[in-house]
């Protein structure tokens, strides 16, 4: 594999996440898995995605306080082990198909119903945040697709592109750091993973800079539509892959 391939994929993924507030892993994993083993693609994504989230959270102004999304984070950390428990007792491929289909239908419904635009913020209660966090954590543990439910929830809450992005930046950072600590003992961060991650670091810096320049030019009217389109495309890809695996 050309040593420039993964850095290029990381660059595009960073620009997507910087512009929309999410999408690094959703873009990086399926594309990188075309060039390296899926297990390695996921491990590199976990490493780089956390670095990207840290960079965006650090430069975000105004920065969303962890207290504003604390129930989401706690819920996700509580739900992840439950998802892992479900995973060892169920078929992961079928679970991924069900989750991907649900996300695809939700994203397409938002687009078709004209709900891709932003709107005034709805009430964001502690209980609601906690329940969505647990749901995202369960899905993350069972299928590694925990991001889309959080993204859909933040767009439903609304309040404008800046608010949604800020909350997503904060969520992915505060969930990503403990996730790395939990995953590290499993041994997935091999020498190859660390090497590939190190080679991609300059691309992350470039992606963060370019993304910051592009971000103000994404109109409010297009922010929601682009977010739902990305969810629809990546969930359709995940559903297609799961269907192929089921059919053999």
Asked if 76 and 137 count as a contact pair (C-beta separation under 8 A), the reply is yes
pTM: predicted TM-score of the whole model, two decimal places: 0.86
Give the tokens for residue 173.
């950072």
Q: What is the residue range of 219's domain? A: 5-247
Spatial separation of the C-alpha atoms in residues 18 and 107, rounded to whole Å: 20
Q: For the chain, what is the domain count?
A: 1
| Residue-wise pLDDT tens digits, 63-91 | 898 899 999 999 999 998 898 788 778 88
| Residue-wise pLDDT tens digits, 183-200 | 788 788 889 999 999 999
Asked if 74 and 130 count as a contact pair (C-beta separation under 8 A), the reply is yes
């Amino acid at each position: 594999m050309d040593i420039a391939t993964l850095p290029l994929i990381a660059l595009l993924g960073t620009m997507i996440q910087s512009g929309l507030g999410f999408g690094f892993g959703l873009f990086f994993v399926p594309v990188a898995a075309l060039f390296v083993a899926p297990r390695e693609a996921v491990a590199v994504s976990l490493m780089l995605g956390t670095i990207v989230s840290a960079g965006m959270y650090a430069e975000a102004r105004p920065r969303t306080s962890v207290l504003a999304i604390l129930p989401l984070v706690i819920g996700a950390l509580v739900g992840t082990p439950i998802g892992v428990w479900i995973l060892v007792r169920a078929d992961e491929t079928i679970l991924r198909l069900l989750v991907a289909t649900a996300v695809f239908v939700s994203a397409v419904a938002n687009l078709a119903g004209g709900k891709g635009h932003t709107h005034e913020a709805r009430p964001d209660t502690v209980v609601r945040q906690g329940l969505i966090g647990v749901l995202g954590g369960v899905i993350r543990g069972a299928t590694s697709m925990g991001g889309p439910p959080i993204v859909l929830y933040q767009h439903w809450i609304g309040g404008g592109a800046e608010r949604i992005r800020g909350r997503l930046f904060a969520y992915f950072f505060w969930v990503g750091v403990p996730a790395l600590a939990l995953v590290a003992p499993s041994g997935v961060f091999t020498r190859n993973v660390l090497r590939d991650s190190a080679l991609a670091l300059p691309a992350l810096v470039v992606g963060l800079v370019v993304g910051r320049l592009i971000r103000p030019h994404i109109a409010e009217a297009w922010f929601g539509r682009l977010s739902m389109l990305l969810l629809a495309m990546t969930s359709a890809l995940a559903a297609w892959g799961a269907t192929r695996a089921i059919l053999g």
